Amino acid sequence: MLTETTTSPVRQELDLRLLARERGYRVVGVARDLNVSATKVPPWRRPQLGPWLIDRAPEFDVLLFWKMDRLVRRVADLTTMITWCLKHGKNLISRHDPIDLTTEAGKTLAALVSSVAEIEAANTGDRVTSLWNYTKTQSAWLVGKPAYGYTTTHDAAGRRVLTIDEVAQRALHWCRDRLLQGASAKRLAGVLVRAGICGPGLTTATLLRRLRNPALVGYRVEEDKKGGVRRSKLVLGKDGDPIRVAEGIFTEEQFQELQAALDRRTKRQPTRQTGGGTTFLGVLVCAVCGTNMLVQKTRSNSKSYEYLRCRDCRGGGQGAPNPQSVYTRLVDDVLSALGDEPVRVREYARGEWVLAHTGETFRQSWAAGGIKEMTKDLLRAGITCKVTRTKVRKVRAPQVHTQLVIPDDVLQRLVITRDEFGSAL
């Protein structure tokens, strides 16, 4: 039921449509970015509003919003929006704030209102941080999503507590037993998905992360953001000991035995090669399975060998030796097809988009930017190169063929689109 004080998204949109009618505006579209923080996500990065600002600017003259804090909560973001609006001849109008960019007073007031919104957002952030810091020290489960293997319920006193999810508990113990017997984590993840115990998005990395989580012993944990790898670490109490928040799915001994088994497995994996990334990653694909071609490095008799392999073909398919020859063939084909095309940039002029030449061809651009620049353009244009490997009788190395696949609208895709907010798309 809508009341005079309702501020639901429906009521906000109704208010704005009435405002548009009052001012004689024709509504050409609506952007509804629900559950998107105005503090963390600027207007030009929001799922629905962003495309209007970046790609559809010629279609509107005025941006209506219900209240300033629905549009921005950072002064820097508001400054960027004001600059963009003035450059493109747009106006910002708020239903509940007297903001009008056609006057200096309106610009000043917009900056003032945004400053207040930023202060309120900072205070809210401080309160949330304080709450999390407090809950981390408590044995009771106050807020937050529990680790896999646990669920939340309420005890007799009405307090929120953690309890063990019996299905997940059986799955975790099954995984532990199989890993101790030598089974691979990849195989276990596949079995759990096929059995319907875990969703189709379960990956080997996710399963290993769950099995290494100290929360399985019943301890409180938090995300360890160091090292660039997602993992959990123990939260220690004032006495320096872990904080227990639930009954453990594993005992300390069971958990440590599992970690030792996982560590031994990790040590058997080859060390990642430095500089081992695949050139033209995402462009080179297997003609049979359609997955990306990746470089694999091996050593034999003190010599290093490189092969291009795919993911889904059995054994990676017929390994393609000498990846550099494939790269060279791809570059030659791309330059032959597109090298002499002019580089064009989309610009905003007089309420419409126009295409302007930069004065250079793609051959010149790629000569200056190198392989990285070419790869970025090929991915942006949706260009792929299918690699076919054919077994040759009595010859160890297969015969390698490449086929460049270019979309019909490649020239439109290659147009450089700058979003007017400091980055090129």
User: Number of helices and strands (H, E) in the chain?
Assistant: 12, 15
Residue type, 387: V
Per CATH, which fold does 9-134 belong to?
A: Rossmann fold (3.40.50)
Which DSSP category does 195 fall into?
T
Two structure tokens written together for 85: 């609006």
Whether the Cβ atoms of residue 312 and residue 291 lie closer than 8 Å to each other: yes
Return the H-helix or E-strand segment holding 86. Answer: helix 75-88
Whether the Cβ atoms of residue 63 and residue 95 lie closer than 8 Å to each other: no
Residue type, 20: A
CB burial of residue 330 (10 Å; 0-12, 13-18, 19+):
buried
Which DSSP category does 249 fall into?
S
The domain 150-267 having CATH identifier 2.60.40.1840: the answer here is no
Task: Please provide the size of the chain in residues.
Answer: 425
Per residue of the chain (425 residues), what is the pLDDT tens digit?
Answer: 344 444 688 999 999 999 999 999 999 999 999 888 888 899 999 999 999 998 899 999 999 999 888 888 887 788 888 888 888 889 988 898 877 787 777 777 666 665 665 665 556 555 555 555 555 555 566 556 788 999 888 888 777 788 899 999 999 999 999 999 989 889 999 999 999 998 888 998 889 989 988 889 988 887 766 555 567 777 777 677 787 888 999 999 999 999 888 888 764 444 444 444 689 999 999 999 999 999 888 777 777 778 888 888 887 777 888 899 999 999 999 999 999 999 999 888 777 888 888 889 999 999 988 999 999 999 999 999 999 988 888 777 788 999 999 999 999 999 998 767 765 44
Cβ neighbors of 371 (< 8 A, separation 6 or more) are 279, 280, 327, 331
Q: Where are the domains positioned within the chain?
A: 9-134, 150-267, 284-417
Counting other chains too, the contacts that 106-109 makes at CB distance below 8 Å and 24 or more residues apart are 107/82
